[in-house]
Structure 1
């Protein structure tokens, strides 16, 4: 069972990433682009995810993953129930979302320094 503490440090450690609080919600950004955001009660983690793969992810486990609200369907975004994820999986989702918003050379440098993944 994952919680926000499992990914909080990661959002500050990833290159170019920083945490912000917007209207009482914690978000991780690179520049002005949000790639992870938590619900106010920190039970749901929204994260950047390829739009063309979203339906398959949600269909694979609708108990853990869901589509965003109708107004956010135009974005590359998915929601996850944090309590339904294990900590390693939550960290992997954060890193994968971060990869979507950083240059490939930054992502490749992370791979060189973290060959086992975010652990």
Structure 2
């Protein structure tokens, strides 16, 4: 089970990340770009994910992942139930979402690829 505290602990290690509370929702971003956001009740989490791959992710684990609302389908975004993630999944999803919003050199520097 993953909590906001788990995501916060990881996000704090990712360069250029800042945490904000906007309309009672916790969001992690780099500059103006949000890469992880929680619902007000913290029961769902949205994160950056390539649009062309998200249908496959949702189809593979529909009990964990789901598409965002219609207004957000235009973005590289998918949602999940964080309590159904394990720590390794969360680490991969949050790190990859962060990678999508930082300069390539910074991602290579941090992650080594």
* d(CA) in 2 for partners of 1:68, 1:6: 22
* d(CA) in 2 for partners of 1:12, 1:31: 14
**What residue number does 1:101 align with?**
101
For residue 41 of structure 1, report the CA deviation from its aligned partner: 1.0
For residue 50 of structure 1, report the CA deviation from its aligned partner: 0.2
1:87 aligns with 2:90: no
- 1:28-76 Cα shifts (integer Å, max 9, x gaps): 0100000100011111110000000010000000000000001111010
* d(CA) in 2 for partners of 1:91, 1:109: 17
Partner secondary structure for residue 47 of structure 2 = strand
* d(CA) in 1 for partners of 2:86, 2:54: 20
* d(CA) in 2 for partners of 1:91, 1:26: 17
**What residue number does 2:55 align with?**
55
What pairs with 1:1-119 in structure 2 (closer than 5 Å)? 1-112=1-112
Residues matched between the structures, number? 113
Cα root mean square deviation, aligned: 1.2
Structure 1: runs of 5+ lacking an equivalent:
none
- State TM-score, norm by structure 2: 0.95
For residue 13 of structure 1, report the CA deviation from its aligned partner: 2.0
Partner secondary structure for residue 46 of structure 2 = strand
* d(CA) in 1 for partners of 2:49, 2:82: 16
Structure 2: runs of 5+ lacking an equivalent:
none
